[in-house]
Each structure stands twice: as C-alpha cells, then as structure tokens.
Structure 1
Amino acid sequence: MRNLKRIGFIGQGKLARGLSALFHESYPNAEIQVWSRSDINKPLKYWSTNTPMRDMDVDLLILAVNDSEIASVARQLAEHTLNAKLVIHCSGNLGVDALSPLASQDCALAAVHPAFSFTGAPVKRTDFAGATVCVESLRGHQPFLEALFSPFAAKLIFSEHISRAQYHAASVMASNLLVGLSHAAQDLAMESGMTAEHAAGLVNSLMLNTLQNIQSSSAKEALTGPIKRGDIATIEKHLAALEAKPEVRNVYTSLSTLISELAHDNNATAQQLRELLAK
C-alpha cells in the first residue's frame, strides 16, 4: 500500500484528527483531505487543496462520523461515482452493512474499528502500535486491508462472526467506563481528605499497576484486596462509607459481586460476599 496517493476523510472530530495524523505519518507522500460531515460538497482545507467531493479522486475514503450519520453519508456518497479503492467507516457498533448504499460502487467496503482512545491529539505510530483493529469486509479483501494497516503495527481481527454490539460494549467497558471509575475513585479519595493531586496520583498509579499485572498474567491472577481475601469486616466498612453516595455504592457492589465470583469460583465465600453486597 505504499502507492497510496490520496486519502479522504469525512468528519472533523477527534477520530478524524487522530487518524489523519496517523495516516499522514504512515503515508507521508499521500495527499490527505478532510470534508465536513454536515455537507460533503463543502470541503475543509487540511493538508491539500480544497476540492468538492464530486471531483475528488481518492484511493481510500474514511467515514469518521457518528454512528447515526453513517448511513446518511453513505446515501449522499452513492449519488456520486466514486473512484475510491476502499471506503470504510470506523464504528465499533455497526457492521459493514451500514455502507450498503455503496454496494453498487466499484470499490471495497469495510467496517474498521480501531480500539483506541482518540482524544483529538495527533496520534503517532508509536502510540498506536499494538492496538486492536476490528475489521469486517463486505467482499473479503483481507490481504488489501492487512497491507493498508501494516505500517501501524496494529493487531487486526477479522470479525465476520463477532457480535458487534457485544464487542463494542466490551470496548466501552475497557475504555470509557474506566474513565468513570477513575473519576469516582478520585472524588472518593478527595472526600477522604486527600488533595486533588494526591488523589490523582493514587488512582492513576494503582490503575496502571493493576493493568500491568493483568497484562503480564490474567485478571484472576491480578486480583488482590478484600474481595480476594474474603474480608467481610473491611467490605462492611466500605459499604457504610458509601451510603451517602448511592451511585458509587452501586458501582462498588456490582463490580465486587463480579470479582467475588472470579476470586472464589462460586464457593461458600462467594455466596457470603454476594449476600453482603446485595443488602
């Protein structure tokens, strides 16, 4: 894919900014252009000259828009004759059938979800290396897609037999909900009397350490703390301390119930913990 000459993006949010920087680094000789998702005939200047979509000849077209907009954008694109070799959308929740309005076009179609947290900052290949990319292609084209993403050192998973909703829920739990857990833990630490700086340091270092332990062994092996020990007295103190924060308490009890089963294989200790956490 080193002969990739023109790359087009529709969308201008965090995903488009991050991916366009990644493609720019990986394909430095390629012309990259970004169009507004609100009107694909009104181009935005990026690294190339402004060109209306109807006149744009791209090798790769990436739809970096919200899930709810993908089908609409695909229908708009279907009104033009596309010269793209490949058109992809980047939703984790939708399959390649979201691009079905383009099925009559002479190009490959794929759903390509990079399981990566795009914050809007430029993404470098060193940042992206090792990230999982979940791919579903309407007409195969596996070698073509593997070649396209090979400069990124990503892990491609071809997902024709994967439930997209469950896969995406897992991704959200591992990324977005982790942010919520961090926020709740830092708030709780500050309520204990810690400064914001110390609370952030506590939570960030613990999360990083735990993730490293999971990566080097497994979730079960990485588990420590009162649930692992079956320390009823300590857990009772935690629950009492969280009485005034019902939403955080619900998170604590739900996750504690899950890890009690992981730690104790549904034995008597797990049952005792479930009964305590259900109160």
Structure 2
Amino acid sequence: MTSTTSSTSSRRAKARRSARRKESTRGANAVGLVGIGRLGSYVLHRLRARGIAVRARRGDDAGLARTRVVYLCVPEDRLPEISARLARAWRDGPRPRAVLHAAGNLGSDALAPLAKLGIGVGVLHPMRAFSRRAGREHVRAVQNCWTCSGDAAVLAQARWLVRQLEPRAQVWALPDDAGARRLYHAGCVLANNGGLALHQLAAKLLAGAGLAPEAADQGAAALLNSAVFRGSRGRVLDGAVQLRGPLARGQLQVVREHVAALGRASRAGHAYRVLSLELLELAQRGKRLDRRTVAAFERALR
C-alpha cells in the first residue's frame, strides 16, 4: 500500500514538474500585444491557436516586459505616446528582446524612447489588409507576405513571430530609412486600394456600355482576379507574365479607338493611358512587341 502511494505521488510530482517546464517555455516565448483592432485581433487568435502565450491586458506594462517580443498594432499617431510610456515603465527591471510596430510608413525611429534603453526596435508590416473577421479566420491570399526592418537581432525576432503566425509566409527585409519607407508604403497603398479604384473605373465603363450595375461590378471583379492570378504565377518585374488584350496583340487601332472614346480629359481616359504605358513597358521586357510597334503605341498614349 505504501509502495503504491509512493509511486502515485512520484508520478504526480513528475507531472507537476513537466507542467512547470512547459509553462516556463511558453512564458519564455510569450508575445506581448498592444492594440486589439483588426490586425491585433488576428495576431491574438493565431498565436493562441498555436499554443503561444499572449499578454495583451490593457495597462499591464509589467507583464509586457516579461515577454520575448512586443508587437504594437496601433495607429501610427499613438506610437510616440505608447513608446514613451513603456520606456518609463521598463526603465528598471525586465525588458523584452524586441519591440516591433506595424506602421508601414514609419521606421524604427518611431520607437526611439525604447531604443535608448537598449531594447531592440523595428517594424513588422503585413503586406495585406485585414477584415473585421480576421481574428476568427485565416486570411486567404495568393501568398501571405510581411516586411521587417531593424538590426539583425530584431529581424530574427520579427521572423520568429511571423513563423508562429503563418509558417509558410514570406518575410522580406526592408531598409529602415525614410525615403525607402515612403516608396514602400506608396506601393502598398497603390496595390491595395488602387485595385479598388481600378475596379470602380472599369465597372463604371461597363455600366456605361449598358451592363446592369451588378453585372458590371462582378465582371470587373472577375477580370481583376484573373489579372492578379496571372501576376502571382509569373514575375511581373521581369516581364515573365501573361499579358492579354489589344496591346499584347499589337492592335494599335483598337487602342486608338479606346483613347478617343474615353476622352483625354476624363479620369478614366487618363488612367487608361497611364496604365497602358505601364503595360507597354511590361510587354517590352517580355519581348512581345518590336520597337516600331512600341513607338507607335507610345505616340497614341501620350
């Protein structure tokens, strides 16, 4: 009886030690999260689903200090106030290995008060928009991509965090200077919201041609989805992508008719010419058109 009791107690003690070790490991890899909006909600749910401890209680600056990395998913105008507050709270005592913010148009200098304490600071920006339901469902994209900025140690922490969120995502380093960030953020805005603007312009033209509004909307969306899919399967900057339409086929007269129908003063006409010139450059890189044809298209589109 005594032997059985001793054996049971021993197993229970081992189980408690194992649980403490697991909890210690989870704590060492805990993530601090500030801001539970669309991005923050997604990060919170993804990490918890993968068994990563998350400390996100509002005002718990001491708890944030005992994490591996803190991710600030807040509007950019709040970063100065939050970084100053955390710097005051962490002046003495434990600190995280790194603090990252998610504002794509700002560099790591937005967290200067924390950098002065010797904490690694940087940027981790998702190259996609999040829906209000993003916390409860995985965002399906052609390829989930993130960019990060900071020194080597900070980049390692940023990549670790992305691996916990999305093991198959792409993570690219981005120079941490103001000029690069402005160009980067402008490109993100153009790819994201610019696609919606193009959708609207195209749908207006289709509706103006006589399609019902719903048909015009869905038809424009289907064509845009097709273009995005083709772009994702090729390399646009190398010209290794499948082009469609009159420009790709060298139909100069059709393009002239489009320009005349849209008018040079309209926004749709201006967008058509600007985007067609980009497509012309793409066709040149892909060696689809000879120089004489390219020059003729340029004259028609200028």
- Common fold: TM-score over 0.5: yes
Paired letter, 1:121: R
Q: Against the structure 1 CA distance between its residues 75 and 97, is the aligned structure 2 distance closer, same or farther, given a 3 Å change threshold? A: same
Residue 129 of structure 2 is aligned to residue 105 of structure 1: no
SS across alignment from 1:101? helix
Paired letter, 2:149: E
CA distance in 1 between counterparts of 2:268 and 2:142 reads 34
Could you give the per-residue CA deviations for residues 48-67 of structure 1, whole angstroms, max 9, x where no partner exists?
Answer: xxxx2444435132222233
User: In the alignment, which residue of structure 2 is the partner of 1:38?
Assistant: none
CA contact (8 A) 1:96 1:138 kept: no
SS across alignment from 2:148? strand
Residue 53 of structure 2 is aligned to residue 30 of structure 1: yes
Residue 200 of structure 2 is aligned to residue 183 of structure 1: yes
Match of 2:230 among 190, 193, 213: 213
Paired letter, 1:134: T
CA distance in 2 between counterparts of 1:130 and 1:238 reads 34
- For 1:150-229, list aligned pairs within 5 A: 150-151=163-164, 152-153=166-167, 154-160=169-175, 163-219=180-236, 220=239, 221-229=241-249
Q: Against the structure 1 CA distance between its residues 112 and 120, is the aligned structure 2 distance closer, same or farther, given a 3 Å change threshold? A: same
Residue 228 of structure 2 is aligned to residue 247 of structure 1: no
CA distance in 2 between counterparts of 1:247 and 1:66 reads 32
Give the drift of 1:223.
1.2
- Pairs aligned (count): 260
Paired letter, 1:122: A
User: In the alignment, which residue of structure 2 is the partner of 1:234?
Assistant: 254
Q: Against the structure 1 CA distance between its residues 76 and 127, is the aligned structure 2 distance closer, same or farther, given a 3 Å change threshold? A: same
Match of 1:64 among 59, 70, 73: 73
Report % sequence identity.
Answer: 22
SS across alignment from 2:88? coil
User: In the alignment, which residue of structure 2 is the partner of 1:277?
Assistant: 301
**How high is the TM-score relative to the length of structure 1?**
0.80
Match of 2:34 among 1, 6, 9: 9
SS across alignment from 2:149? strand
Could you give the per-residue CA deviations for residues 189-209 of structure 1, whole angstroms, max 9, x where no partner exists?
Answer: 122221232222212221222
Moved over 6 A (4+): none
- Is there any run of 5+ residues in structure 1 with no aligned partner, and where? 35-42, 44-51
Could you give the per-residue CA deviations for residues 125-171 of structure 1, whole angstroms, max 9, x where no partner exists?
Answer: 56369411111124624443332221312211122478222222222
CA distance in 1 between counterparts of 2:266 and 2:139 reads 41
CA contact (8 A) 1:88 1:109 kept: yes
Paired letter, 2:146: V
Larger Rg: 1 or 2? Answer: 2
Could you give the per-residue CA deviations for residues 98-149 of structure 1, whole angstroms, max 9, x where no partner exists?
Answer: 2111113353322111112212222545636941111112462444333222
CA distance in 2 between counterparts of 1:111 and 1:146 reads 11
Could you give the per-residue CA deviations for residues 247-269 of structure 1, whole angstroms, max 9, x where no partner exists?
Answer: 12111111111211222468222
**How high is the TM-score relative to the length of structure 2?**
0.74
Residue 140 of structure 2 is aligned to residue 127 of structure 1: yes
CA distance in 2 between counterparts of 1:88 and 1:253 reads 41
Match of 2:98 among 63, 86, 89: 86
CA distance in 1 between counterparts of 2:96 and 2:140 reads 28
